[in-house]
Amino acid sequence: MIDEIVCEGARRMLAAALEAEVHQYIAELAGQCDENGRHWPRTVTTATGAVGVAAPRVNDRRTDEVTGERKRFSSKILAPWCRKSPKISEVLPLLYLHGLSSGDFVPAMEQFLGSSAGLSPATVTRLTQQWTADHAAFQRRDLAGSGYVYVWADGVHPKIRLSQTHSCLLVLMSVRVDGTKELIAITEGLRESTESWAGLLHDCRRRGMRDPMLVVGDGAMGLWRAMAEVFPQARHQRCWVHKTRNVSNALPKSAQPGAKKALQKIYNAEDRAHAEKAVTAFEKMYGAKFPKAIKKITGEVDELLAFYDFPAEHWVHLRTTNPIESTFSTVKLRTKVTCGAGSPTAALAMVFKLVESAQARWRAVTAPHLVALVRAGARFENGLLVERSATRAA
């Protein structure tokens, strides 16, 4: 009874939204439309169950001046032939990646959703093929004019089937000039090698990507060698989360808590001068006993403290590769090696669709208006703007 009430409420809300959309369309084009009616009823699978709806239909008089073809009304709320809500479409690649085979979707979800519409094995197989095509098109898109300012780069090792034993996923994420985050590329690479990273970066360069202002990544030397070759103008920032792990692994467990606090004093310092003093203090405290751990910091001070030359509002975003880590946490920690994805190509497509869905919920960086100043060449010292002449010149 409760389920029926919920479904009826969802049906009425959808019908009301569609009616409002059509009324607005007709009001904007008064005198250019004939009668409006309804399409044949259809069932749409939503998170609340199967909802029956008859979408409004508009007979538009207008024609395209160039092609001469009739213009048609297309609902943005309920696309033509849509049988599943966007939320249901988002969860399908997640279930498929977890190992639910195409033949299991109907018995596993029919009772939960109240309908098997859009869940047949043939439908799911077509979806996987479409996801693969979407990923291929994404990897070929033009990057000219993208204006990437900050870039995070990381090699992700989710437990999914890839083409080679030691393969991983090479991921590039960015911040655009308007402050929004965007996935640049995701592809398969071998051991985060220089050759794999160089191949991906060269491909981005060929498609029009400019040198970013700052690249944030872990200590994988393959990435930095390739970055210096392909995007020599970009500055480098080491991820403090990865660096803290590396230093801790070089210390006995008894020394790790104190060392982590000392490292926090470095990257949380109010300015570069205080951070360098904290590096000196860390070296005095642990240098005599653990020289290998100390060298991991003192050997890369410039790369570890590069974020101080950018707006202070952006420091929290630039100190780590957390945007990639958090996005892939579900995939990395919860997926299992399974035949569910079918092939390495399908597995990569599944991961791409998961990231694509998550991208809609990514938050812009703090103080997005400052990103354009960074791209224009404005100079910052210890997080504060000190020179805007380059901005005016641009």
In a shared domain, residues 375 and 288: yes
Residues 272-312: tens digit of each pLDDT: 999 999 999 999 999 999 999 999 999 999 999 999 999 99
Name the least confident of 32-46, 320-334, 355-369. Answer: 32-46
Pair 340, 193 in one domain: yes
Is residue 147 situated within a structural domain? yes
pTM for this structure? 0.72
pLDDT confidence of 131, banded at 50, 70, 90? confident
In a domain, 330, yes or no: no
Query: In terms of domains, do 347 and 202 share one?
Result: yes
Does residue 302 sit within a domain? yes
Range of the domain at 112: 86-213+335-363
Answer yes or no: do 253 and 392 share one domain.
yes
Question: Are residues 139 and 199 located together in one domain of the fold?
Answer: yes
- The residue ranges of DSSP E strands in the chain, in sequence order, are 33-38, 42-46, 49-53, 56-60, 150-156, 167-175, 181-190, 214-217, 235-238, 379-381, 384-387
Q: Does residue 290 share a domain with residue 173?
A: no
Cβ-Cβ contacts under 8 Å for 297 (sequence gap 6 or more): 243, 247, 263, 266, 279, 282, 283, 304
**Per-residue H/E/C for 270-311:** CCHHHHHHHHHHHHHHHCCCCHHHHHHHHCCHHHHCHHHHCC
Same domain, 15 and 61: yes
What is the count of structural domains for the chain? Answer: 3
Ramachandran area for residue 60 (φ above 0: left; ψ -120 to 50: alpha; else beta): beta
Complete DSSP assignment for 196-263: HHHHHHHHHHHTTPPPPSEEEE-S-HHHHHHHHHH-TT-EEEE-HHHHHHHHHHTS-GGGHHHHHHHH
Residue 379 lies in a domain: yes
Those residues whose C-beta lies under 8 Å from the C-beta of residue 222, and which sit 6 or more positions away, are 191, 192, 193, 194, 195, 196, 197
